[in-house]
C-alpha cells in the first residue's frame, strides 16, 4: 500500500480545507517547499500537490512555487488543481517535470481534453479525481454538483481509457472521519481501474481498512491532516529528529 502525503497550496501557503469550506481552512506552513523536504526525509516515495487556488478559479495560480517544490525533492510529484486544458497539462509535464497530473472538473466539462491528453501522454501520466458529496460528483473546487454518480463517472472515464482514479468523499476531507469504504468497494468491483483513496484517514486503523480491500485494486492512499498532526506513532520519532535539526541522509531510490 503506497501512502502519498498531500500538500495543499492556497495563497502560496500549505493549508488544509476542511470539507471544502473556505471558512474552515487550516493553516500549516508558510513554506510548502519545506514541507515537501520534510516528507522526503520521512522516506515517502511520492508527493501529491493540489493548487487550491487553481481548483477554485480554473487556472493554476502557484506554478512557480510548484516548480520550486519539484526541484527541491528527488521523488515523483503528482499535481492537481486548475488543470482544465491541454496547453496547461502539456506545460506542467514538460516544464515542471511532474510525474503525473490529476484532472477533475475538466474531465466532465471537456472530455475531449482527456482524450487528447491520453493520446499525447501515456495513461500512467493521467489520473482522474472523483470528488463526491452525497453520491453526486462535485466540481469547481467542490462548489457545484455535476449530477452524476461517482460510479457512472468512473465508468465513463474507463471507457475513455483512464487506468487510475483518485476517489474521495469531500464531506470527510480534513475532518479525520474515515474513508468511504462502501463507495470504494462499489467502484472497484464495477471497474478494472486502479484506485487511490483520499480523504478521511485519521490513523493506522483507517489505513488498515484500506489495506483490507487492497486486493480489489485500491492500492494507494493520500493522507494530509493525519500526517501534519502526527497521528501515526512512527512520526513522533521522525519529527523529534527533525526538531533537533539532526541531519538525515536521504535514501537512494
Give me 59's grid cell. 487556472
Angle at 201 between CA 31 and CA 93, to 5 degrees: 50
**pLDDT at residue 238, as a whole number:** 60
Cα separation of 73 and 76, whole Å? 8
Distances (CA, A) of 198 to 132, 174, 223, 228: 11, 10, 7, 15
Are 143 and 171 in contact, with CB atoms under 8 Å apart? no
- Of the candidates 8, 51, 53, 206, the residue annotated as catalytic is 8
Annotation says 131 is catalytic = yes
Counting as low any pLDDT under 50, the low residues of the chain are: 20-23, 245-253
Q: Is residue 171 domain-resident?
A: yes
Cα separation of 49 and 101, whole Å? 10
Question: What SS3 state is found at 223?
Answer: strand
**pLDDT at residue 252, as a whole number:** 36
- Of the candidates 53, 131, 169, 206, the residue annotated as catalytic is 131
Q: Is residue 249 domain-resident?
A: no
Cα separation of 197 and 127, whole Å? 12
* CATH number, position 32: 3.20.20.70
pTM: 0.86
pLDDT in tens, 11-33: 899 887 655 444 455 777 889 99
Cα separation of 220 and 166, whole Å? 9
- Per the structure, the complete domain to which residue 235 belongs is given by 2-243
Q: Which residues contact 107 (CB under 8 A, 6 or more apart)?
A: 113, 114, 128, 153, 157
**pLDDT at residue 45, as a whole number:** 93
Q: Is residue 69 domain-resident?
A: yes
What is the count of structural domains for the chain?
A: 1
Q: What is the largest CA-CA distance in the chain?
A: 51
Cα separation of 134 and 132, whole Å? 6
Annotation says 169 is catalytic = no
DSSP assignment of 57-100: HSS-S-HHHHHHHHHH-SS-EEEESS--SHHHHHHIIIII--SE
pLDDT in tens, 137-150: 998 878 889 999 99
**pLDDT at residue 246, as a whole number:** 41
Q: Is residue 248 domain-resident?
A: no
Q: Is residue 26 domain-resident?
A: yes
Q: Is residue 45 domain-resident?
A: yes
Cα separation of 138 and 170, whole Å? 9
Are 101 and 93 in contact, with CB atoms under 8 Å apart? yes
Amino acid at each position: 500500500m503506497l501512502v502519498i502525503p498531500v500538500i495543499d497550496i492556497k495563497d502560496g501557503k500549505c493549508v488544509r480545507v476542511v470539507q471544502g469550506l473556505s471558512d474552515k481552512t487550516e493553516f500549516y506552513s508558510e513554506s510548502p517547499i519545506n514541507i515537501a523536504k520534510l516528507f522526503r526525509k520521512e522516506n515517502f516515495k511520492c508527493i501529491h500537490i493540489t493548487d487550491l487556488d487553481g481548483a477554485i478559479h480554473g487556472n493554476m495560480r502557484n506554478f512557480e512555487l510548484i516548480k520550486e517544490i519539484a526541484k527541491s525533492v528527488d521523488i515523483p510529484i503528482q499535481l492537481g488543481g486548475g488543470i482544465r486544458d491541454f496547453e496547461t497539462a502539456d506545460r506542467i509535464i514538460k516544464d515542471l517535470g511532474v510525474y503525473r497530473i490529476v484532472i477533475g472538473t475538466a474531465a466532465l466539462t471537456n472530455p475531449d481534453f482527456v482524450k487528447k491528453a491520453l493520446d499525447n501522454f501515456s495513461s500512467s501520466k493521467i489520473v482522474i479525481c472523483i470528488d463526491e458529496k452525497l453520491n453526486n460528483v462535485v466540481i469547481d473546487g467542490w462548489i457545484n454538483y455535476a449530477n452524476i454518480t461517482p460510479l457512472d463517472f468512473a465508468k465513463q472515464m474507463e471507457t475513455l481509457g483512464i487506468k487510475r482514479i483518485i476517489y474521495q468523499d469531500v464531506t470527510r476531507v480534513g475532518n479525520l472521519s474515515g474513508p468511504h469504504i462502501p463507495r470504494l468497494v462499489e467502484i472497484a468491483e464495477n471497474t478494472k481501474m486502479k484506485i487511490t483513496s483520499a480523504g478521511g484517514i485519521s490513523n493506522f486503523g483507517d489505513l488498515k481498512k484500506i489495506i483490507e480491500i487492497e486486493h480489489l485494486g485500491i492500492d494507494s492512499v493520500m493522507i494530509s491532516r493525519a500526517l501534519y498532526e502526527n497521528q501515526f506513532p512512527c512520526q513522533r520519532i521522525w519529527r523529534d529528529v527533525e526538531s533537533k535539526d539532526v541531519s538525515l541522509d536521504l535514501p537512494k531510490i
